[in-house]
Chains A and B, each alone.
Chain A
Amino acid sequence: MDNFIELTKLMTPAILIPLFPLLGFLLITLFGKTLKKGSGWLASAMILASFICTVYIFVNLPEGQSLNFTVFEWIKWGDINLAFGLLIDPLSLVMLLVVTGVGFLIHLYSIGYMHSDEGFSRFFLQMNLFIFFMLLLVMGNSYLVMFIGWEGVGLCSYLLIGFWFKKDAFNDAAKKAFIMNRIGDLGFLIGMFFMLFYFGGLDFTSVMIAAQTHEKGSALLVTITLLLFIGAMGKSAQIPLYTWLPDAMAGPTPVSALIHAATMVTAGIYMICRSNILFALAPFTLDFVLIIGVATSLFAAIIGLKQNDIKKVLAYSTVSQLGLMFAALGLGVFSSGMFHVVTHAFFKALLFLGAGSVIHAMSGAQDIRNMGGLSKYIKITYITFLIGTLAISGIFPFAGFFSKDEILAQSFANHKLIWGILSFSSMLTAFYMFRLYFLTFNTQFRGTDEQKHHLHESPATMTIPLILLAALSVVGGFMGLPAAFGSAHVFSRYLSPVFEGSVSIMGAEHHLNHATEWVLMGIATLAAIVSIIVAYNIYISKKGLPEPDAEVKGFAKWVGNKFYVDELFDMIFVRPLMVMSDIFFVLVDKLIIDLFVNAAAWVVGFTGRTIRLVQTGNTGFYIFAMVISIMVLLYCQLVDPYLYVYFK
């Protein structure tokens, strides 16, 4: 009973968490013009308030407990009763801490980054709206509430990618992201219909209970999970729906850091973790998730090797890392996937913000071929970026090492080939990240004199988030020390109540003996170091530079052009659609629809042309018509009352 009272006390702060950003959004929408630069601080303060509420709940929520309550009755019709409820459990708390914590740092950073932009207030109101929807996505206690957040973040992503809407290319990128996400969302939506129809509800608890009454691996469960995974594919940029993410880099860099690296793109992983029981009951889907994840991880890593735009490299590394997370989910080690989500949020947000700082220093230039030697000019950015690069490459003891190693160890226990591919893509990651790093910060500056003159460190609002995120990237991994280090895995133990169900369905995780784990860690680190040395050799010792686009030949050209996937999609989907539209335009629209429309217009016109002849302009005629009409009416009334009634 005490416990119950304690939990109800947490309901108010739980409701407040999403309300703060919503309030910020409304205030800036209404008073953005008056607030001017203050809107950035207001927006940041709102996220900080949410973060404080989250921490309060995190501290006060008894271990192993969850808070699941209805905020208001929503859709009630016949047997369908869908309430709007929130769920706070370890899984959503982890996401909440990441979203509000990293979100706050990125808001703070944006104050400096966007300071001279004319859309300053608009930027912050959209960012706050995004955080609101993201929190809804994470906190919802049913698929429907999650879906609202899911669609909302998609909308905000669209708005923020196309933030500089005066450039057509940016608008195209925004539309591409939106449409690709819609494809995934349709899968999610149909999955929800299935669940509503067969399970009778959409809240997580009842769905999971209902799902367990079905046989493991039954067609229904596989269908539902596949549909949900299609949703996750779109949102989390997996093959084949990944092409929007690199294009999404058109948005301002803080947007890339917040939406397209740290939070929104991990929504798919969160969703699968949330439905872990459902997925555990559908082994076929898990295998599919594994294959897609591994393939994406490798494919994106290869493309990353040949990108020359600082943000594009990071974008492909994000796709690759997301693939790694999906591989973890496919292996059934949900907590490892979540662990990588968290560490990835730290170091990828750091890398993107660092890239933003570089772009800021370079007055907007993004091509790494024109950078170089920046370490002398922007010290803080340089050091923090190095930490981020080390973390993503999986060098001990940075955050990425632990989470990546955990997934690799699990894949080794499951299948050697998968381990091989994932290790290889990690190696590639280390290589292209250090390629990026060396080209940006080392050797000589290759830009114009004007840019060189302008090089400067970013203001404190930008460097402080960098330093904090760098600190998190260093220590973030220690919450998930592997068993071989002899200490308990704090992170997975914290999440264990959420994944109890799936563990009991799939059986306990494979446990490697410690010797194997040590060897695997050794191999992973060695591979990363070898990649770094190779990168050093090419880009520092030999002062190698990526060739201009025109001179790239052979396989490298394929890679540089992203394997022509965009062109392929263009050929398979866009062009046929265009041709079909043309055909329909000529056949259906012009011939059939226009025929009816024009015929209707012609009839009206003809009638008008005929009847207007009555308007002779002759007053006498008008009077005559009037008198006759009155007489007719009178006649009708006096002689035939029924006719009069009829006329009336």
Chain B
Amino acid sequence: MEQVIQHSNPQSWYLVLSTILFSIGVMGVLFRRNAIIILMCIELMLNSVNILLVSFSAYAGNSEGQVFVFFIMVVAAAEVAVGLALLVSIFRNTASTDINVLSKLKW
């Protein structure tokens, strides 16, 4: 017999929050030029998905989603480490974190 868990908040709230965060992330990635901010926006998108996963996991009474979140966090941490290292390197070469400066790789 399934155990019914009482939730204080409706799930839609989490969905809305997640959507808002994700959209902010997308907009940031699209419209900001500062590479650091873009990196942060990517983190935002990742975390919005995490919220989604956790909420679904809680509402479905299934722990898989929460386990998955940990994986995403690990990957995100690794990704940030690489991303920041790249940024440092770029900054040393161009003295800037503006992504539009890096336009040499083109036709």
Contact = CB atoms under 8 A, between A and B. Distances in A.
Interface stretch (B4-12, B54-62, B68-76, B95-103): B95-103
Interface string A609-632: 000110111111001100100000
Contacts of A627: 26, 29-30
Interface in B75-107: 99-100, 102-107
A238 B103 CA distance: 77
B33 A615 contact: no
A501 B102 CA distance: 93
A620 B107 contact: no
Interface residues of B, number: 13
Nearest to B107: A612
A627 B99 CA distance: 17
B107 A615 contact: yes
A618 B30 CA distance: 12
Interface string B3-39: 0000000000000000000000010011001000010
B94 to A, nearest CB: 12
Contact of B30 (A612, A613, A615, A624): A624
B104 A617 contact: yes
Contact of A616 (B26, B30, B99, B106): B106
Nearest to B104: A617
| Interface size range of chain A in the complex | 10 to 19
Given A612-B107, A613-B107, A619 B30 contact: no
Contacts of A612: 107
A622 to B, nearest CB: 9
B107 A619 contact: no
A619 B100 contact: yes
A21 to B, nearest CB: 64
A623 B35 CA distance: 12
B105 A617 contact: yes
Interface in A138-166: none
A633 to B, nearest CB: 14
Given A623-B29, A623-B30, A627-B30, A618 B103 contact: yes
Contact of A615 (B26, B99, B100, B106): B106
Nearest to B42: A623
Contacts of A618: 100, 103, 106
A533 to B, nearest CB: 92
B70 to A, nearest CB: 25
Contact of A620 (B26, B100, B105): B100
B41 to A, nearest CB: 10
B99 A619 contact: yes
B5 to A, nearest CB: 29
A619 B103 CA distance: 7
B102 A619 contact: yes
A619 to B, nearest CB: 4
A617 B102 CA distance: 7
A620 to B, nearest CB: 6
A624 B38 CA distance: 12
A624 B32 CA distance: 11
B103 A616 contact: yes
A607 to B, nearest CB: 13
Contact of A617 (B26, B29, B30, B103): B103
Contacts of A623: 29-30, 38
A194 to B, nearest CB: 64
Nearest to A613: B107
Contacts of B26: 627
Contacts of B104: 617
Interface in A594-648: 612-613, 615-620, 623-624, 627
Contacts of B38: 623
A500 B26 CA distance: 99
23 contacts: A612-B107, A613-B107, A615-B106, A615-B107, A616-B107, A617-B103, A617-B106, A618-B100, A618-B103, A619-B99, A619-B100, A619-B102, A619-B103, A620-B30, A620-B33, A620-B99, A620-B100, A623-B29, A623-B30, A624-B30, A627-B26, A627-B29, A627-B30
The 10 closest A-B pairs by CB, nearest first: A617-B106, A617-B103, A619-B99, A612-B107, A615-B107, A615-B106, A617-B105, A616-B106, A623-B29, A618-B103
Interface of A: 612-613, 615-620, 623-624, 627
Given A615-B106, A620-B30, 16 more contacts: A613-B107, A616-B106, A617-B102, A617-B103, A617-B105, A618-B103, A619-B99, A619-B100, A619-B103, A620-B99, A620-B100, A623-B30, A624-B30, A627-B26, A627-B29, A627-B30
